[in-house]
Amino acid sequence: MRQRGFPLFPLVRHTLLLAWAAVTLFPIYWMVMTSFKQAAEWVTWPPRWFPHEPTLVNYVKVLTPGTSTFELGRQTLKILKPIGDSLIVSGIGSLIAVLLGSALAYSWARFGTGGRSYPYNILSIRMVPPIVIAVPFVVYFVTLRLLDTYTGLILVYLATSLPYVIWMMLAFVEEVPVELERAARVMGASRWKVLRSVVLPLTASGLVVTFLFVFILNWSELLLAMTLTNTEVSTIPIQLNKFQSANEGRDYGPQAAIGTIATLPVVVLGFLIQKHLLRGFSFGLLRK
Amino acid sequence: MTAAGAPGAGGLRRWLERERVFKWLPFVPVQGLFALLLLPNFLLLVYLSLLSWRITRGAWWNAAFTGLDSFQRALEDSRFLWALARTFAFAAVAVPLELLLVFGLAMLCRRSFRGRRIYTSVFLLPMMIVPAVVGYDLSMLLIDQGPFNQLLSLFAGRTVTVRWLSEYTPAQLAVIGADVWQWTALTFLVFTAGLAGLPEEPIRAARVMGASRWQIFWHIELPLLKPVIAIAVILRSMEALKMFDYPMLLTQAGPGNATETVAVYLWRVGWEFARVSDAAAMSLILLVAVAMYILVAIRVLRRERRRLTEEGAV
């Protein structure tokens, strides 16, 4: 369908869209460029839009083993361990959440288990700002000796991911034709056989998408991670925050390297599930 | 989980096959998790709020009751009330701004044209970036001798040095800007999906009957977009009220307390000042403040979803 009576429209459109694209790309561009700059080029006037002598030294600095090094009064925090910890905590937490949440979504969609309001109740729990539960969580976890442990943070991420998993998987499960399942049942398949041979293949892509989605959420989480860990466990957002306060944010290059490292995998994953990202956020209101 | 009294694997399989067992199986661990993790947590929150306990003062179970003292302290704490008001104010500025911006962008991207897919991919980028990284990244752009001031100088034709991170209003604008930059992406996603899902028939019918573009938009498209707008508003305000990462990394909640959101302040009261009971009381007050909002949000979601399933059945 063509736009009528407005010959300059394509030009105006491209101008406006390009403007917003520039706004979007500018901070990302700057961070990636800074991560390749030598210390002398971090702060200059006028600022340098390209590194004159590109270097990998920032990446080498943050990716060497250990916790931190001091150099010229600057503290450089390392991120090999936080990367590992982030992978462990977000990976395991998201995986268990997807297993439990998808089973629950299926059970609710088919049997109405837990009552009509169940998913809404779960969702309303998720709407409470995390800071509200953070305060007692520390006291509770100290009492249970779960503070600053992998298990503790995994349990918390499991609980906070479940509502998203349930709502996302509801949309996928509702797309599986019930007739197909009934037919399989009539032909003598057990419930578990139906689950394995009918439902699982039809929702497999949904499971992957849901896993990646909650993985990204947990990978990015700062507040609860910061509250419930101390020295034993440390995720990437925590490390970046520590770094920022350790040097008053003046160690630009290595921090930009950490930012780039933390961003890259998520952007790649995000693009893989771009088409489905919305389901996690749409509360089942947008189905296509 | 084993079947009590069921002999052998065949018995277990038969036990698992019962509808009652099958449908409750995922509910047991989930409810167990919530019952063991969140319920005691909430009770503890209420209990702690009735004490005047600090981390440094012995075990919490030995602390004496002081009734509603910590609530009184919280309500007299102007820094807390300001943080609360500021959080709502930030949301009230950021969310409409994002909606307006996205409304324009989504409308421009509505029909297919060359380059549309590239634009949409670029527009979605910010939502995939870790919020803490966004905070840090902008703190780098906004330094006095940073590229942002350079661009401003370029447009203004003279040297402009806005002290984004050390002056009151600019710092608040920076934090709101971080939110808008990152979450316009998500709102854009919601709106493009909503626009793509609009039914063709009523629009075409109206056009045949001679309705103007504006009339179609105002009387047909906008009402049809209501659930989409509802999702966007609920989702965005929900997240905006949690704002923590941007002030932490971008401005350290400063200068002064200019960008201290309620999440940051509660975190400080609980951890930096170790006044756990006060933090608990403030948490409960915050919970009451957002409870109304959550109730309304859930009610709207239920209504829209019911409407959707009814329409789908026709």
Is there a contact between B108 and A16 if contact means CB atoms under 8 Å apart? Answer: yes
Is there a contact between B17 and A220 if contact means CB atoms under 8 Å apart? Answer: no
Return the pLDDT at A158.
94
Is there a contact between B136 and A259 if contact means CB atoms under 8 Å apart? Answer: yes
Return the pLDDT at A93.
96
For strands A68-71 and A74-77, give the pairing: antiparallel
Return the pLDDT at A66.
75
| Greater pLDDT, A288 or A214 | A214
The DSSP element (H or E) to which A77 belongs, if any, is strand A74-77
Instruction: Count CB-CB contacts under 10 A for residue A155.
Output: 20
Top-ranked range on mean pLDDT: pick from A94-98, A160-164, B156-160: A94-98
CA distance A88 to chain B (A): 17
The ipTM assigned to this model is 0.88
- Measured between alpha carbons, how far is residue B6 from residues B1, B10, B18, B19, B23 in Å? 12, 8, 13, 16, 19
Q: Over pLDDT 70: what percentage of chain A?
A: 92
Please, which pLDDT band fits residue A67 given cuts at 50, 70 and 90? confident
Please, which pLDDT band fits residue A174 given cuts at 50, 70 and 90? confident
Top-ranked range on mean pLDDT: pick from A120-124, A186-190, B133-137, B190-194: B133-137
Instruction: Count CB-CB contacts under 10 A for residue B9.
Output: 9
The average pLDDT across A204-230 equals 91
Q: Could you give the CA distance from residue B153 to residue B151 in angstroms, rounded to a whole number?
A: 5
Residue A168 pLDDT > 50: yes
Mean pLDDT, chain B, as a whole number?
A: 87
φ/ψ (deg, to 5) at A182:
-60, -45
Enumerate the domain spans of chain B: 50-313
Q: Is A100 on the interface with B (CB under 8 A)?
A: yes
Side-chain half-sphere exposure of A126, counting CA atoms within 13 A: 26
Return the pLDDT at B2.
46
Residue A191 pLDDT > 90: no
| Greater pLDDT, A288 or A285 | A285
Give the pLDDT confidence of A89-143 residue by residue, as tens digits.
999 999 999 999 999 999 999 888 888 888 888 888 888 899 998 888 888 998 8
Is there a contact between B45 and A136 if contact means CB atoms under 8 Å apart? Answer: yes
The DSSP element (H or E) to which A70 belongs, if any, is strand A68-71
Return the pLDDT at A26.
94
CA distance B136 to chain A (A): 7
Pick the CATH number of B50-313 from 1.10.340.30, 1.10.238.10, 3.30.70.360, 1.10.3720.10: 1.10.3720.10
| Greater pLDDT, B63 or A20 | A20
Which domains, and CATH codes, for chain A?
Answer: 9-77 (no CATH), 80-281 (1.10.3720.10)
The radius of gyration of chain B's CA atoms, rounded to the nearest angstrom, is 26
Q: Which of A227-231, A281-285, B113-117, B304-308 has the lowest mean pLDDT?
A: A281-285
Return the pLDDT at B312.
55
Q: Could you give the CA distance from residue B279 to residue B270 in angstroms, rounded to a whole number?
A: 5
Residue B34 pLDDT > 60: yes
CA distance A197 to chain B (A): 16
Is there a contact between A227 and B139 if contact means CB atoms under 8 Å apart? Answer: no
Return the pLDDT at B265.
95
Q: Over pLDDT 90: what percentage of chain B?
A: 35
The average pLDDT across A236-265 equals 86
| Tokens matching residue B18 | 């019962």
Q: Is A56 on the interface with B (CB under 8 A)?
A: no
- Measured between alpha carbons, how far is residue A119 from residues B27, B52, B307 in Å? 12, 37, 17
Q: Is A141 on the interface with B (CB under 8 A)?
A: no
Residues B184/B127, Cβ–Cβ less than 8 Å: no
Return the pLDDT at B3.
45
Residue B7 pLDDT > 60: no
Class of residue B12 by CB neighbours under 10 A (exposed 0-12, middle 13-18, buried 19+)? middle
Q: Is B115 on the interface with A (CB under 8 A)?
A: yes
pTM for this one? Answer: 0.89
Q: Could you give the CA distance from residue B128 to residue B172 in angstroms, rounded to a whole number?
A: 23
CA distance A148 to chain B (A): 15
Residue in chain A nearest B192 by alpha carbon: A278
Please, which pLDDT band fits residue A248 given cuts at 50, 70 and 90? low
The average pLDDT across A202-212 equals 89
| Runs of H (alpha helix) within A40-197 | 57-63, 80-111, 118-127, 130-144, 150-173, 178-186, 191-194
Give the pLDDT confidence of B270-313 residue by residue, as tens digits.
888 888 899 999 999 999 989 988 899 899 888 888 887 776 54
Return the pLDDT at B313.
45
Q: Which of A139, A249, A278 lies nearest to residue B60, judging by beta carbons?
A: A139
CA distance B73 to chain A (A): 17
Give the pLDDT confidence of A23-58 residue by residue, as tens digits.
999 999 999 999 999 888 888 888 888 888 888 988
Is there a contact between B104 and A156 if contact means CB atoms under 8 Å apart? Answer: no
Please, which pLDDT band fits residue B9 given cuts at 50, 70 and 90? confident
Residues B70/B50, Cβ–Cβ less than 8 Å: yes
The average pLDDT across A168-197 equals 88
